[in-house]
């Protein structure tokens, strides 16, 4: 009997081993299919341990799009971490159908498109953490319905393209939520008190910085469990400390850049630091904002009705982006009360004096190290029992890791080509970007992260950290950067200055408010490659030759053909200038729709021009290599041109089998089959003569020729594009 029992046990053990082995093999096949269009993915490395319940692929330099439909077949997966990569495309609805998934981290990638949570299809009610921060996801004028995720305790949607005054209402059913981060969104008004009642006992971390919020902070007064509150860079009003008396558990507070009323006490500054109150409208001698000055700036109630917000002091940006608002300078009601030109002159002179005093104060303040901002708890490991230890091994603090390596160079000067008298140092950049925090990061570029800041004088800039330039000699880097600063062309993003701190090279560019071309082509509502479009969002625009096409709006109105042609021609002119108008010639080396930035008139500005030469300072290269690099730029331009004509991303899983997610291969195949009209963007074909699009498609075909010698020069491309629409080429 004992031998029989032992035999049965061994049989069960053997069958279990076979079954589990087969299940693991099936999971590996699913993973291979899910990452079929992703470069840098190695199945052996991904599952070197066990990947049945935890898949951690953070910081693996993964590029491409994920097949979420295949991912949904991983029935045992509980934790998925794909953060800090270069993954793109859409977050498919199939992801939310995974019943076992508890922890999801897709932060710091390039995911785009309209964000929805399709939990009605059977999505997991087990999800506890969702981190989608620092992507290109968009939400416009609608609420995100997360009510199906009853166990959700952590959600971070910060640093995306969110503009919805209904967003908060969509989160209010999350009764277990402890951490909400929406920094950098545009949310409108603060919700009324009854809507916050679901969170009174649970919510401990709330980040609504740079959310374009208005209203009274008193609406939040009953969130007594809060330990972390960031309301910086908004247009909020209220009394301090009166409206904050109930926040007895706060460990971190930042209300800078608002329009509050009240007087700061020394204990407030000791507890939260001066940085938390800069430009908040509050007065205190140590902030260089005397209470008497605030009282004079306030408009009497009889003249302004209920306008009671004080004019804020000169301030700096403390988080993601400081949106233009009435908090710069005097309030609108105060300005309305100024009745004479003499008063205007006095105020203007006072502002200049105040700015100079502010810069001197900041330097003295920074020198004492009293400016240090308390670190924000990481997204999954907090300094309190909210989401203990968490499923992910990394932690995002208020500052970036590379900053910690700079110890003896904090006084390194910031060189500004056009504003040499604006004396700033690396420590000023630290303050302007909250220690280069995730909240101020706009993107993870090809050569390093990009941060947004507002310099004194309300100068909006983008600061790029060149991670690959640490070993470039300082003298060589300085020479190259000054040469790049002299590059002047209407379609090249101007380099405003730089800072070399230790081994770190930081480039300061002009900020473009309309973002990049990739966003406008692929990430607005109603844009689903190969799918149906929202007719309400993509109404055909008037396109008569004698009427200038209206500029696209951030609401999602599509880019019309004439805007796309203008962008293509501007890009071509920029590259032609670099290749043929500079000596020695400059090649870009990495052109894509992500580094074509758009100004207020949707004129294109090619970013990162000359960066490749800076990184390759030690190797000048031969004439032949320079010619080959120029032809590579032509190919990159051709890819972007095909995106403009087809409306599709350069890579993705929407292409038929056999093209490996490649737009160029798919387009060239159909053109060879005499089916070029099949690739045209269906949203445009009824708005303009098709021959214009086909002619432009032909140019893209020429630029992406397999043999570099068969590709035209950028000078020739400019001529070809002008010939497509000669009546608009010189406008």
Q: Check: pTM over 0.75? Answer yes or no.
A: no
Helix (H) or strand (E) holding 103, with range, is: strand 103-105
All structural domains of the chain, each given as residue ranges with its CATH number in brackets, are 48-367 (3.80.10.10), 401-433+435-510 (3.30.200.20), 517-729 (1.10.510.10)
pLDDT score of 541 more than 50 = no
Q: How confident is residue 523, by pLDDT bands cut at 50, 70 and 90?
A: confident
Q: What CA–CA distance (Å, rounded) separates 387 from 366? A: 34
Give dist(CA 556, CA 528) in Å, integer: 13
370-393 per-position pLDDT tens digit: 222 223 333 332 333 333 333 333
Q: Which residues contact 493 (CB under 8 A, 6 or more apart)?
A: 509, 510, 512, 597, 605, 606, 607, 608, 609
Task: Please write the tens of the pLDDT for every residue from 707-720.
Answer: 999 999 999 999 99
109-126 pLDDT, tens digit per residue, is 888 888 877 665 544 468
Q: Which two tokens stand for residue 716?
A: 């020739």
pLDDT at position 9: 46
Look at 118 and 401; give whichever has higher pLDDT. 118
Residue 222 pLDDT more than 80?
Answer: no
Q: DSSP letters of 66-105?
A: --HHHHTT-TT--EEE--SSEEEEE--GGGGG-TT--EEE
Are the CB atoms for 66 and 46 separated by under 8 Å?
Answer: no
β-partners of residue 179 are: 154, 205
Which residues does residue 237 pair with via DSSP β-bridges, in sequence order? 216
State both tokens at 601: 């008139």
Between 664 and 404, whose confidence is greater?
Answer: 664
What pLDDT sits at residue 301? Answer: 35
């Amino acid at each position: 009997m004992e031998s029989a029992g032992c035999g049965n046990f061994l049989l069960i053990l053997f069958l279990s081993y076979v079954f589990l082995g087969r299940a693991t093999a099936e999971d590996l096949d699913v993973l291979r299919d899910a990452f079929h269009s992703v470069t840098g993915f190695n199945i052996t490395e991904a599952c070197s341990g066990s990947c049945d319940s935890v898949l951690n692929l953070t910081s693996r330099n993964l590029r491409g799009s994920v097949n979420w439909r295949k991912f949904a077949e991983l029935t045992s997966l509980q934790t998925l971490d794909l953060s800090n990569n270069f993954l793109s495309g859409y977050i498919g609805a199939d992801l939310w159908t995974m019943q076992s998934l508890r922890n999801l981290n897709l932060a710091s990638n390039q995911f785009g498109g309209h964000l929805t949570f399709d939990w009605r299809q059977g999505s997991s009610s087990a999800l506890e953490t969702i981190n989608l921060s620092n992507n290109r996801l968009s939400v416009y004028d609608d609420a995100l319905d997360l009510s199906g995720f009853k166990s959700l305790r952590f959600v971070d949607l910060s640093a995306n393209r969110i503009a919805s005054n209904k967003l908060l209402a969509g989160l209010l059913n999350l009764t277990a939520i402890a951490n909400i981060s929406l920094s950098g969104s545009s949310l409108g008004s603060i919700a009324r008190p009854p809507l916050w009642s679901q969170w009174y006992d649970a919510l401990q971390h709330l980040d609504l910085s740079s959310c374009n919020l208005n209203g009274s902070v008193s609406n939040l007064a009953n969130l007594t469990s809060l330990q972390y509150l960031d309301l910086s860079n908004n247009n909020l009003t209220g009394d301090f400390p009166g409206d904050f008396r109930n926040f007895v558990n706060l460990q971190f507070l930042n209300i800078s850049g608002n329009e509050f009323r009240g007087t700061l006490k020394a204990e407030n500054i000791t507890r939260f630091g001066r940085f938390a109150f800069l430009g908040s409208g509050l007065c205190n001698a140590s902030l260089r904002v005397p209470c008497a000055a605030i009282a004079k700036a306030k408009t009497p109630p009889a003249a302004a009705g209920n306008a009671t917000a004080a004019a804020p002091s000169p301030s700096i940006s403390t988080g993601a982006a400081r949106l233009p608002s009435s908090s710069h300078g005097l309030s609108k009601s105060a300005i309305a009360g100024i009745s004479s030109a003499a008063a205007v002159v006095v105020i203007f002179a006072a502002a200049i004096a105040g700015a100079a005093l502010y810069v001197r104060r900041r330097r003295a303040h920074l020198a004492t190290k009293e400016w240090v901002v308390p670190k924000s708890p990481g997204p999954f490991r907090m300094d309190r029992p909210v989401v203990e230890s968490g499923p992910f091994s990394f932690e995002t603090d208020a500052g970036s890791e590379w900053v910690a390596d700079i110890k003896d160079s904090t006084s390194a000067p910031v060189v500004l080509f056009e504003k040499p008298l604006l004396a700033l140092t690396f420590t000023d950049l630290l303050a302007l970007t909250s220690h280069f925090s995730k909240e101020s990061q706009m993107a993870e570029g090809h050569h390093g992260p990009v941060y947004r800041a507002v310099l004194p004088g309300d100068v909006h800039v983008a600061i790029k950290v060149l991670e690959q330039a640490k070993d470039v000699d300082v003298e060589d880097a300085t020479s190259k950067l000054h040469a790049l600063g002299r590059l002047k062309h209407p379609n090249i993003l101007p380099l405003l200055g730089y800072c070399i701190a230790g081994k770190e090279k930081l480039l300061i560019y002009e900020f473009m408010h309309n973002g990049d071309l990739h966003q406008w082509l692929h990430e607005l509502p109603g844009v689903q490659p190969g799918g149906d479009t929202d007719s309400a969002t993509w109404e055909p625009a008037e396109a008569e030759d004698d009427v200038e096409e209206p500029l696209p709006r951030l609401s999602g109105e599509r880019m019309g053909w004439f805007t796309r042609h203008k962008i293509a021609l501007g890009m071509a002119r920029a590259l032609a200038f670099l290749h043929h108008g500079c000596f020695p010639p400059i090649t870009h080396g990495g052109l894509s729709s992500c580094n074509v930035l758009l100004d207020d008139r949707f004129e294109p500005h090619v970013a990162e021009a000359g960066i490749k030469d800076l990184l390759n300072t030690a190797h000048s290269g031969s004439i032949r290599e320079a010619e080959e690099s120029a032809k590579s730029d032509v190919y990159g331009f051709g890819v972007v041109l095909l995106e403009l004509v087809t409306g599709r991303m350069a890579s993705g899983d929407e292409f038929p089998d056999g093209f490996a997610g490649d737009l160029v291969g798919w387009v060239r195949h159909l053109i060879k089959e005499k089916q070029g009209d099949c690739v045209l963007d269906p949203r445009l074909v009824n708005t303009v003569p098709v021959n214009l699009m086909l002619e432009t498609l032909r140019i893209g075909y020429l630029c992406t020729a397999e043999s570099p010698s068969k590709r035209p020069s950028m000078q020739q491309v400019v001529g070809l594009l002008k010939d497509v629409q000669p009546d608009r080429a010189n406008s």
